[in-house]
Every structure is written in C-alpha cells, then in structure tokens.
Amino acid sequence: MAARILNGTEIGRQIQDELRQEIEELKQAGVTPGLAAVLVGESPASHIYVRNKIRACEALGLYSERLAPPASITTEELIAEIETLNQRPEIDGILVQLPLPPQVEAQRVLQAVDPAKDVDGFHPVNVGALVANRPGLRPCTPAGVMELLRRNGIELKGAQAVVIGRSDIVGKPLALLLLHQHATVTVCHSRTRDLPGVARTADILVAAMGRAAYVTPDFVRPSATVIDVGINRVEDAATAEKLFARHPARLEEFRKKGSALVGDVHPDVVEVAGALTPVPGGVGPLTIAMLMANTVQAARQRRGTGVRAPVAR
C-alpha cells in the first residue's frame, strides 16, 4: 500500500488563514506587521525565494520591502544596512537571504540582526532559547515540519526520530524541537556508520542533507513517517529514467518539461513508508507560512500586544 501523502500546501494554507484573522486584529489595534528581505547578488534561486516570500506578505496584508544591495557589498556595509533596519519601528522582521557573496562574513551579518526581529531564528539569542526550550523565534523550516507532524496527528512522545543532516538551519534545530516533544532523537550525517541501518530504526525519518534521492527504500522501516526536506532539480534524462522507472506519470512530466524536482528521498520510498511528504508541495510551503507566523509573533512581542499563537511555537 502506498504511503499517506502529507500535504504541506494544504497545511500552509490553514496556517495562513489563521494568520489573516490575527493580522486583521493587529491592524484594528493600529499595528501592521512588517518584514524586510535583504537580497544580495543575482542568484536566480534566491530571487525566486525572496519573491515568493514578498508575495506571501502581500497576500496576507503584511507590510514588506526588499532591499537589494550590490553583490560587491562589504561585510561592514551590509551590517550598516542591517543596523538601519534594526532601528526602523515599522520593520518587525528582518530576513537575510542566504547564501551571501563570498567576501561577506555571513555569521557576522546574521548576528547583527536584532534578535527580536530575527524571523529566521538564526541569532545566537534565539538559538539559545531553542536549546533551553524557552519562548523565542524558531527557524522556519524546522517549525514548519513540527506543524506538519502535529496537524497530521503524528505521535512524537516516545517515538524514535532519526534526522539525517546536521545543518544549523534544519538538522540541529529540528532535532531539538523533536526532543522537546519527547521524541528519542538520533542525528546522522555523512560519517555515520551503517546509515541505512540507523535510519531503519526510525518511526519518524527526516531527510535534510541536500542530496537528490539519497534515502532509498532500504533506509525506511515499513510504515515509518518520512519527512523530505530536500529540494533538488533533475535535468539529466538518464537520471530521470532511473529515478522515475516505477512512476510513469512523473517520468512523463519530466519529458514534457525537461526537468523535475526531487527531494532527498527516492520516489520509490512511497511504497514503503506509512506517511511521506511530497516534493514539491511538502515542507516548502510550510517554511514560508512559518516565516509569516514569525513576523506576526515578532510584531506582537515588539509592540507589547501580547503573544497569541495560531501555530505551535
């Protein structure tokens, strides 16, 4: 039996519908939450990501603006721009789109963001709050995964969770969020011995290593919940033929478009897992929804209007 598909697009809409009501209440109190997105350079993928985030703000009625410094900007110049945003009262959230150009010290820039406006949840103050399980702004993708699990009724208490990937953006914070919900968590990486064997112990398996179709059916315990955080573009016909050999509809779509998006989980895992997030339409929409939720939360905290949580924080 094929896995139950965990529809992130649908849950993202639910979250945004809940946020609309909260945003309207804030506006009636004279507060319009505001987000500033800082986009440095000409990366096509980064431009798409930022455009989608700005569109989400517009759809919800949030104030938003995009700053686009030149790709030649120095670390000090970019920090100065961030400090200006820190001082602007109408800006509640600051998003610095990564990656930054090689001459810019990304960590210094991220640490220059006011923690109260750090809607990505990357500042050491917010990371510390996450470690201590104290209230704070959480990284958007891990927070979105937690909403996906919660709203689909996936039991976390006592569950064996395996997270493949140890990045500061996804793997580490997600492991902590799962731990705080009483899961037993194992974090794996490229040097983990017998990675497929460790992965097969999981009731909840998260793939977040950035390698297309890396997690194959032999990584997955039958009936496990599999969360695919990766997004990779496949353009090679031979690779597509191999990946989609048992998925004729997806192969036909590849032939029409000349490319396809796949996650870090092989398409054949759908035949083993009990539940699975699709790519696209799984974790991705939730990342943007949680960015909007963080912006609203930051506005409430900064303006002293109290914290109401339409989503689990």
Band the pLDDT of 1: cuts 50, 70, 90. confident
Condensed to tens digits (0 to 9), the pLDDT of residues 248-283 reads 999 999 999 999 999 999 999 999 999 999 999 999
What is the C-alpha to C-alpha distance for residues 157 and 260, in angstroms, rounded to an integer?
36
Catalytic status, residue 14 = no
Condensed to tens digits (0 to 9), the pLDDT of residues 82-127 reads 999 999 999 999 999 999 999 999 999 999 999 999 999 999 999 9
Question: Half-sphere exposure of 175 toward its Cβ, with a 13 Å CA cutoff?
Answer: 17
Band the pLDDT of 291: cuts 50, 70, 90. very high
Amino acid 243 reads: L
Give me the mean pLDDT over the 10-31 stretch: 95
> Would you say residue 304 has pLDDT above 80?
no
Q: pTM value?
A: 0.94
> Would you say residue 169 has pLDDT above 70?
yes
The pLDDT of residue 306:
54
- Could you give the percent of the chain with pLDDT greater than 90? 93
Report the chain's mean pLDDT, rounded to a whole number. 95
Catalytic status, residue 264 = no
Active-site pick, 16, 92, 97, 117: 97
What is the C-alpha to C-alpha distance for residues 286 and 212, in angstroms, rounded to an integer?
20
Band the pLDDT of 6: cuts 50, 70, 90. very high
The pLDDT of residue 273:
98
What is the C-alpha to C-alpha distance for residues 172 and 254, in angstroms, rounded to an integer?
34
- Could you give the percent of the chain with pLDDT greater than 70? 97
The pLDDT of residue 44:
84
Give me the mean pLDDT over the 5-14 stretch: 97
What is the C-alpha to C-alpha distance for residues 264 and 190, in angstroms, rounded to an integer?
14
The pLDDT of residue 134:
97
> Would you say residue 310 has pLDDT above 50?
no
> Would you say residue 311 has pLDDT above 70?
no
Band the pLDDT of 309: cuts 50, 70, 90. very low
Tokens of 55: 């569109």
How are beta strands 275-276 and 4-5 bridged, if at all?
parallel
> Would you say residue 225 has pLDDT above 80?
yes
Closest CA to 294 of 49, 2, 19, 70: 19
Contact 159, 184 (CB under 8 A): yes
The pLDDT of residue 41:
85
Catalytic status, residue 120 = yes
> Would you say residue 313 has pLDDT above 60?
no
Band the pLDDT of 308: cuts 50, 70, 90. low
**First-to-final CA distance of the chain:** 34
Active-site pick, 92, 114, 118, 120: 120
The pLDDT of residue 122:
95
What is the C-alpha to C-alpha distance for residues 159 and 280, in angstroms, rounded to an integer?
26
What is the C-alpha to C-alpha distance for residues 270 and 191, in angstroms, rounded to an integer?
26
> Would you say residue 183 has pLDDT above 90?
yes
- Hey, what domains does the chain have and what are their CATH numbers? 28-117 (3.40.50.10860), 140-285 (3.40.50.720)
How are beta strands 225-228 and 275-276 bridged, if at all?
parallel
Contact 174, 312 (CB under 8 A): no
Condensed to tens digits (0 to 9), the pLDDT of residues 29-65 reads 999 999 999 999 888 888 888 999 999 999 999 999 9
Question: Half-sphere exposure of 267 toward its Cβ, with a 13 Å CA cutoff?
Answer: 19
> Which residues make beta-bridge pairs with 188?
164
